[in-house]
Structure 1
């Protein structure tokens, strides 16, 4: 399955709005002084970039999707595995909800470390696809029931758990590695408010859904409708945050 990342508005409706809430918690968790030079790798529609800038950082973004970065300032189109920056340029390098989608996360992390100064913070956060991101967990459970071959993001992204993240950071030579959970509420006024963002085609679950025949899409919808309240849907979303220091 090919993930689709091209239209910022549809992504914002699907999961970007929840990413903003995580970013607002993630930035102060890092405890980096204001005035630092930040690089946001896989900046997407700018949720983490905006949170860092609001905290007093000077932020540059990089993302492979021209559709996502359109309209953002200080952003370049580029690949996380070959960052278009000289070494030793940034005090902080962060990545929000992107690292697990990079074909070679270790190479991406090596690149993020390369462009930092000694003593810099290198950090990221990813959704807990296996257990803690309820809106997606409900979707994939229903999708696997309707289609046993559905590419469930839980087993697809084993990196998105505390132990693998910590191991990746330590293998990159980073020190003082810390992993913590960030949990936020995700609320929907009714079932249509919950279901509609899955129809936008942006992100793994919506891209999968768009590729299915109508009978499979309808089966997933009906299974979900039977499992969540019709109104005032209260769910939670957990991201795993990891940070380390470049020696």
Structure 2
């Protein structure tokens, strides 16, 4: 998948990187959203299916459709769910491949900031939602709350100031409560609410933290792939020095996502 110039394509590599934290966020998001059982759902930017699987397990949907631009991610999502209530389509968030007013809940997990035109995408979310239905999303708080990436980019930028241009905290100013609330309100949605979701991200040891950055999926691993062996070693050593560690060598961090929801008139 290419989201805003960031390449995402291989499902298993993505899950080793940040995808492993997608499920806990989805499981915290759904009770807050509180959609009744039996409803029709659309998961936009479904990726490897973390949110879709959580909806199937927790929200008793009548039907859920996942949409993503990546064939690799969709294959992983199908493998992950294996439920007759779920279907998956390849498509763009800005031009959804579904008819209007078909869904009771349209959701997007950890994807909207990668869409080049989020306002256009949100207009599509509204178009395909029934009156009275919910439109909701959540995104990582890259500027501060997504600790694994905040530590990474702070260290990378200290060693290489040019790395700042790739830092999601700078590139995605939408990923905060005020911009999200404004985006939803400007789209004409009512009853707009924003909510912080914090989940623990405990790494078994430093290698468990560092190894996913070698997988090439996403901005930070993509940046690591451009470094020389010596530059990579320097970045690794600086991170090892700075990251917190428990007596058992595990690395205790947290990840914050911002969730937003509104109702279609």
Bin of the TM-score, shorter chain as denominator length: over 0.9
CA deviation string 1:209-241 (max 9, x = no partner): 212333332221111011124511111000000
1:202 aligned residue (194, 209, 217): 217
| Equivalent position of 1:142 in the other structure | 155
| Equivalent position of 2:64 in the other structure | 59
Cα distance in 1 between the residues matched to 2:21 and 2:167: 20
Higher mean Cα deviation, 69-78 or 17-26? Answer: 69-78
CA deviation string 1:23-60 (max 9, x = no partner): 00101110110111000000000000011111201210
**TM-score, length-normalised on structure 2?**
0.91
2:226 is the alignment partner of 1:244: no
Cα distance in 1 between the residues matched to 2:216 and 2:174: 24
| Equivalent position of 1:226 in the other structure | 241
CA deviation string 1:56-105 (max 9, x = no partner): 01210000001111141511110000000110000000000000000000
**TM-score, length-normalised on structure 1?**
0.97
Retained in 2: the 8 A contact 1:177–1:244?
yes
**5+ long unaligned stretches in structure 2:** 79-85
Cα distance in 2 between the residues matched to 1:124 and 1:37: 16
Q: How does 1:126-165 map to 2 (within 5 A)?
A: 126-150=139-163, 151-165=166-180
| Equivalent position of 2:206 in the other structure | 191
Cα distance in 1 between the residues matched to 2:176 and 2:229: 34
Higher mean Cα deviation, 203-212 or 43-52? Answer: 203-212
| Equivalent position of 1:93 in the other structure | 106
Retained in 2: the 8 A contact 1:190–1:229?
no
| Equivalent position of 2:8 in the other structure | 5
**For this pair of structures, how many residues does the alignment match?**
247
Cα distance in 1 between the residues matched to 2:5 and 2:160: 17
Cα distance in 2 between the residues matched to 1:211 and 1:77: 30
Retained in 2: the 8 A contact 1:174–1:246?
yes
2:43 is the alignment partner of 1:25: no
2:47 is the alignment partner of 1:44: yes
Cα distance in 1 between the residues matched to 2:227 and 2:6: 14
Q: Which SS does the other structure have where 1:83 is aligned? A: coil
**5+ long unaligned stretches in structure 1:** none
